[in-house]
Structure 1
Amino acid sequence: MGPGEEIRRNPAGFRVLTGDRPTGRLHLGHYFGTLKGRVELQDLGVETFVIVADYQVLTDRDVAERLQEHVEDLVLDYLAAGIDPRRSTIFAHSAVPALNQLMLPFLSLVSVAELGRNPTVKDEIAHSRQAAVSGLMFTYPVHQAADILFCKANLVPVGRDQLPHLELTRTVARRFNDRYGAVFPEPAALLSAAPVLLGTDGTKMSKSRGNAIALAATADETARLIKGARTDGERHITYNPDGRPEVSSLLLLAALCQDRDPREVAEEIGGGGAAALKRTVTEAVNEHLAPLRARRIELARDRAHVRAVLRAGNERAGERAEATLSEVRAAMGMAY
């Protein structure tokens, strides 16, 4: 039985930790890559914790600019997409002090060499804007282990590039249990089946590259961004991800929005060329996102409610983290 079937059979047996760094509004890549899946897990009845990883912003930026605005925008995107704060816990990392206290014993369980070998850390360092690597960046994998283990999550939705982080979390949990007694589960990966969407410039869609279509974009902004997207010189439209990556990514985007096969979309467009392709994609995206965007506009009128949702989530996460920290202290003989 695969993990998907097991989740559907016994959703109450799983607890998920997932989330994002508040560095800008979420985009279509986030939506089809992770956000839509989180809502589905929640709706199945899986206990879900969604972290706004605000401290992680500091790993690769000297200053977290407009952080409060970014945090509120992130919560708005979550709520508009269907994350229900009555069933899922949305919280900010910095608002849960007990979560950070778990990092100290966890750091004692890994070597400096293990931290340095982590490929995700290497990649983050390579793309960092800072002249020097901060200690926080170096401890990034343990930082994430605390995020996952504080609520005893046993399932973490990840892309393949994040597997090394999760493996280190599993190592931390195993070593803690071996040394102090069974406290933590070893969380399993829920690998995302979602394909990578390219941005308007033909590279991976990313907030930092300015090539993304935000969920909160207007219909006109969406049309403008898609109109400027890269394609190729061949007029007849075909779905060929290896040979025609830009065209194929646009076809895939339309297909995801319409719940169709991208080859079928390509056949319909045929010899219509890039203009017809972009028109099809624009209509598909705007139609699919219209309800989400309407909800977001309505929610944005009451920022006090957004902040209240976060405060309530912070409180729930804090209670869970304190309970776990008490277990950890007792196991380590530190319950004075």
Structure 2
Amino acid sequence: MTSTVEISPAARRSAELEAEITADPSRFRVLTGDRPTGPLHLGHYFGTLHNRVRLQRQGVELGLVIADYQVLTDRDVAEDLEGHVITLIADYLAAGVDPDEAMIFTHSAVTALNQLLLPFLSLVTVPELQRNPTVKDEIAHSRQSGVSGLMFTYPAHQAADILFCRANLVPVGSDQLPHLELTRTIARRFNDRYGPVFPEPEALLSAAPLLLGTDGAKMSKSRGNAIMLGSSSQETARLIRGAKTDAQRHITYEPGTRPEVSSLVLLGALCSGRDPVELAGSIGSGGAAVLKAEVTEAVNACFAPLRARRAELLADPGYLHQVLREGNARAEERAEATLARVREAMGTVYGASR
């Protein structure tokens, strides 16, 4: 009896998009980004950063928003915000993002982008914002005693991030599809009410591998269980030595039943370009100590060039600030053009010569 694996419509469309990108990458404009809460780790690299570099090298136009305003949604004070912003830019460039081609910018510097938030909020209801999975999750994990009103604007703000530059492609995980769907809803409602201005961006589903933290939980900066892109070789070795495994000596790649061991195997495989099943088989009865030694060697060899480049970039903060200034200027120019179209469509161009 032959079993079939059902492919979701989103996954099917994502596969079609990959083929379309290969055929004509110039048709696509991607917008994605990060909140500046600290340096990026290996989970970020294999989960999103590596894919961004791939798309840019294929010829897709890449926009990266450093969402500094969104940091304020779940904390009272954004500590060392400037330092985190500059570190993010260093992480991007060290990983291979081309600053001459990519538009790297911060929320707070692009005033026209933020002006789109008000008309966008008029197109969604409070229950729609409350039901948004990202908002619900952020509220559940908020470190504040009360949730700020800014939290509820999060989905509309992200819609403004995507639509101000008329991005038509957004790389997401399957858990983020409802969030992108609200952006599509806002674009559709605006177009229906005022006329065609915005594209409805599509989801490019990520096949990113899930790497666990050294404690077996989700890799996270705040949990202290992550290997950072900028970690030294010694720090990497220490963290991997302390990583959680299990009581079985024989090493296998079985993510469903042996998640901690399998995550280490997967990390080693990703860094060495090997198949995880083959890597696990080569270690076999060598046990966790041999596994950890191989993974440490693979990680340090793989990331040595990135770490060296990152150190060079951080030693020249003036250059990183210049990259941001240029990216902010490009984003503001793009946002002003979009805002002008929005005002024209809404009939809010007052006092202009006719």
Instruction: Place the TM-score, normalised by the shorter chain, in its bin.
Output: over 0.9
SS state at 1:260 partner: coil
Identity of aligned residues (%): 72
**Aligned residue identity for 2:46:** F
Task: Say what the alpha-carbon RMSD is for the aligned residues.
Answer: 0.7
**Aligned residue identity for 1:107:** L
Aligned equivalent of 1:227, options 234, 241, 245: 241
- Look up the match of 1:134: 148
- Look up the match of 1:323: 337
- Look up the match of 1:209: 223
- Look up the match of 2:30: 16
**Aligned residue identity for 2:349:** A
- Look up the match of 1:281: 295
- Look up the match of 2:207: 193
Deviations, residues 152-184 of structure 1 (Å, cap 9, x unaligned): 000000111211110000000000000000000
**Aligned residue identity for 2:28:** F
- Look up the match of 1:239: 253
Q: Distance in 1 between matches of 2:173 and 2:27?
A: 22
SS state at 1:2 partner: helix
Deviations, residues 54-90 of structure 1 (Å, cap 9, x unaligned): 0010011110001010000000000100111111111
**Aligned residue identity for 1:106:** F
Deviations, residues 235-254 of structure 1 (Å, cap 9, x unaligned): 00000001100000000001
1:139 Cα shift? Answer: 1.1
1:219 Cα shift? Answer: 0.5
1:260 Cα shift? Answer: 1.5
SS state at 2:222 partner: coil
Q: Distance in 1 between matches of 2:30 and 2:69?
A: 20
Aligned equivalent of 2:324, options 304, 310, 314: 310
**Aligned residue identity for 1:136:** L
Provide the TM-score with structure 1 as the length reference: 0.99
Q: Distance in 1 between matches of 2:135 and 2:169?
A: 22
Aligned equivalent of 1:69, options 57, 79, 83: 83
- Look up the match of 1:256: 270
Mapping for residues 137-152 of structure 1, pairs under 5 Å: 137-152=151-166
- Look up the match of 1:34: 48
Deviations, residues 289-333 of structure 1 (Å, cap 9, x unaligned): 011011111111110000000000000000000000000000000
Aligned equivalent of 1:106, options 98, 120, 127: 120
Q: Distance in 1 between matches of 2:341 and 2:155?
A: 22
- Look up the match of 2:170: 156
Cα pair 1:213 1:222 within 8 Å, conserved:
yes
- Look up the match of 2:8: none
Deviations, residues 172-199 of structure 1 (Å, cap 9, x unaligned): 0000000000000000001110121100
Q: Distance in 2 between matches of 1:293 and 1:119?
A: 35
Deviations, residues 102-124 of structure 1 (Å, cap 9, x unaligned): 00000000000100111111111
Q: Distance in 2 between matches of 1:92 and 1:311?
A: 9
Q: Distance in 1 between matches of 2:260 and 2:291?
A: 11
Q: Distance in 1 between matches of 2:252 and 2:344?
A: 62
- Look up the match of 2:21: 7
SS state at 2:334 partner: helix
Q: Distance in 2 between matches of 1:175 and 1:199?
A: 41
1:36 Cα shift? Answer: 0.4
1:259 Cα shift? Answer: 1.6
**Aligned residue identity for 1:179:** R
**Aligned residue identity for 1:119:** P
2:99 is the alignment partner of 1:85: yes
Structure 2 runs not aligned, ≥5 long: 1-14
Q: Which runs of 4+ in 1 moved over 4 A?
A: none
SS state at 1:205 partner: coil
- Look up the match of 2:58: 44
SS state at 2:92 partner: helix
Q: Distance in 2 between matches of 1:203 and 1:148?
A: 31
Q: Distance in 1 between matches of 2:19 and 2:297?
A: 34
Q: Distance in 2 between matches of 1:18 and 1:8?
A: 20
1:334 Cα shift? Answer: 0.7
2:113 is the alignment partner of 1:95: no
Cα pair 1:120 1:161 within 8 Å, conserved:
no
Q: Distance in 1 between matches of 2:24 and 2:298?
A: 34
Cα pair 1:96 1:318 within 8 Å, conserved:
yes
Which segment drifts farther, 12-21 or 204-213?
A: 204-213
